[in-house]
Structure 1
């Protein structure tokens, strides 16, 4: 049996100092980006770091500074939704862009089960991150309360009304849903239904409320299919349900683009033409909308900007030690294409 390979000793700041022929203090000033180091000494130290293979001990630095240099992104979605939802991807990239510019690391934490909630709560209390950004917070969310109790700098994407009053960044889901439903109604549709999703969070509830606002007295509760998640499968199931309730339905507002594309497929399977027989609109202006056949009319929300602004708000709290502004609304717009 071969003998185990001995673990290579990690290079230290003393090794760098000895190789460069300078004091440990001079090496420390270079590593910390401090002035008052000659160009020749700085060059010697940088060459020594490369030669001895020195890697800074981040854990020790964090212990000394009481800072982790990391921000958590907490996503309350099943794993399949996290992977398939392009909005979450755009939000993540927006967050990472802002954090990267500030030399902060993004840590993604996905909550799919109660066990995940317990694990993440313990992680947040361990000092591993300096702040948190929460996406898709739901009713009775224990993570939001844990963050409030820890007084951890945090920002919500969205603005749940039944959670601790944390700073937030979001869009006017209710107003945007009303706007696109009115546009759909103006095409002459008279039997308009909705595939509602995510009703355990503010975005889903507000989009349903906006749909109801737009239809007024013409709102028909039986033409609302309630689904759990903003997914393609929800669209297929929801559209099938609406067709059973009213085979003559001629307009559908889907709560997201992924849901809308599922509805388009269900309509095609039922022999219903879009938009000739049924007009369909979605919400997000994600990759789902642009790849749909026909191309999907939808609401464009600035997912990347939501992530970037959330990161900026949480970093402001980390740096100042005080809470950020209560909330920030970003604009949306109707994008009208062939599906309606």
Structure 2
């Protein structure tokens, strides 16, 4: 039986040979259904790259990859991602590297992406976002000893290279800030509970309540889907508990909360104060303007890229965990 070639894979999958090559090398710009179809053929037939191609693993590609969990629509609407990608891209370019950005909406698509990544030599290292409490990506990257940097936290592991915002400290500061302005029934709209960023901000919220002597009330915590509609629905549920302040996990959820509060006939900030997190570009332009915790996204991206570049050049580097402080920006909503 003749060995399977990329040309044959392309014929079976009904795509071009360059598309197969791009998928096998971990490249971007391919529809996820096409990627899954090609990788299913590859895995079923045990395809292995030509020995010469495998030998290319010893050479550098001068390309970094930033991988996000959300689908393209999910992260395209969030200004945080645009700012972070630009910061990583600028730092990579200053150091002679290219940047590839990949996204996956499904667990299957994500697994196929990493299958292709480990087969190829097209990417020197990876920056990953939105870690889960139990994250298959991180475990696979560890197993393959593939260079990567996590923007976030994972199980407080000292053996990882990480760059993170001070999510716990920032949320504690927001709770204290609202308490000092007379708020005593402070609610929190969180995101998905298995994301470590959501766990950390919830922890900061609870510690903030403890700092100022307020009891934790589970009825004042709601989980929301990411996005403005999710924030609106969560705030509508929370308003039944009559909070005098609401903190949103991020500014886009905060937009939804702002709309819900106003639709309920309550005034912001007179009846309900509202604060977000990330200090997105639109925060000064809402009505009223949105108080938010400002992240230094430029520094986050720069340090993540520099850390990854250093690691790809020297595999003996000791792991580092960098925590970047944030600061509150007071506006009309509080």
Tell me the equivalent position of 1:121. 114
1:309 partnered with 2:303: yes
Displacement of 1:274 in angstroms is 0.3
The list of structure 1 runs, each at least 4 consecutive aligned residues, that deviate by more than 6 angstroms after superposition, is: none
Query: Is the partner of 2:282 in helix, strand or coil?
Result: helix
Which of 87, 97, 100 is the matching residue for 1:94? 87
Q: Flag the 1:164–1:149 CA change in 2: closer, same or farther, 3 A.
A: farther
Displacement of 1:228 in angstroms is 3.8
Decide whether the 8 Å contact of 1:280 with 1:296 is kept in 2.
Answer: yes
Q: CA RMSD in A?
A: 2.0
Tell me the equivalent position of 1:103. 96
Tell me the equivalent position of 2:31. none
Q: Deviations over 1:202-242 (max 9, x none)?
A: 2111111111112224221111001243x212210110110
Displacement of 1:198 in angstroms is 3.4
CA distance in 2 between partners of 1:122 and 1:324 (Å)? 27
Tell me the equivalent position of 1:271. 265
Displacement of 1:300 in angstroms is 0.6
Query: Residues 53-64 of structure 1 correspond to what in structure 2 (within 5 A)?
Result: 63=56
The two structures have a TM-score, normalised by structure 2, of 0.79
Tell me the equivalent position of 1:203. 197
CA distance in 2 between partners of 1:204 and 1:295 (Å)? 24
Q: Flag the 1:90–1:251 CA change in 2: closer, same or farther, 3 A.
A: same
Decide whether the 8 Å contact of 2:150 with 2:162 is kept in 1.
Answer: yes
CA distance in 2 between partners of 1:329 and 1:291 (Å)? 29
Displacement of 1:243 in angstroms is 1.4
Displacement of 1:163 in angstroms is 7.1
CA distance in 1 between partners of 2:57 and 2:279 (Å)? 45
Q: Deviations over 1:31-60 (max 9, x none)?
A: xxxxxxxxxxxxxxxxxxxxxxxxxxxx99
Q: Flag the 1:308–1:324 CA change in 2: closer, same or farther, 3 A.
A: farther
Displacement of 1:308 in angstroms is 1.1
Displacement of 1:123 in angstroms is 1.9
CA distance in 2 between partners of 1:220 and 1:64 (Å)? 54
CA distance in 2 between partners of 1:79 and 1:65 (Å)? 32
Decide whether the 8 Å contact of 1:144 with 1:164 is kept in 2.
Answer: no
Which consecutive unaligned segments of at least 5 residues does structure 2 have? Answer: 1-51
CA distance in 2 between partners of 1:64 and 1:263 (Å)? 49
CA distance in 2 between partners of 1:319 and 1:182 (Å)? 43
Tell me the equivalent position of 1:233. 229
Q: Deviations over 1:90-133 (max 9, x none)?
A: 11111001111112111111121012222111122022211000
Displacement of 1:147 in angstroms is 1.2
Q: Deviations over 1:8-33 (max 9, x none)?
A: xxxxxxxxxxxxxxxxxxxxxxxxxx
Q: Deviations over 1:49-102 (max 9, x none)?
A: xxxxxxxxxx99x93961111111011223332111111111111100111111
The two structures have a TM-score, normalised by structure 1, of 0.77
Which consecutive unaligned segments of at least 5 residues does structure 1 have? Answer: 1-58
Q: How many residues align?
A: 278
Which of 215, 220, 227 is the matching residue for 1:223? 220
- Over alpha carbons, which structure has the higher Rg? 1
Query: Is the partner of 1:218 in helix, strand or coil?
Result: coil
Displacement of 1:139 in angstroms is 2.8
Tell me the equivalent position of 2:146. 152
Which of 82, 87, 91 is the matching residue for 2:75? 82
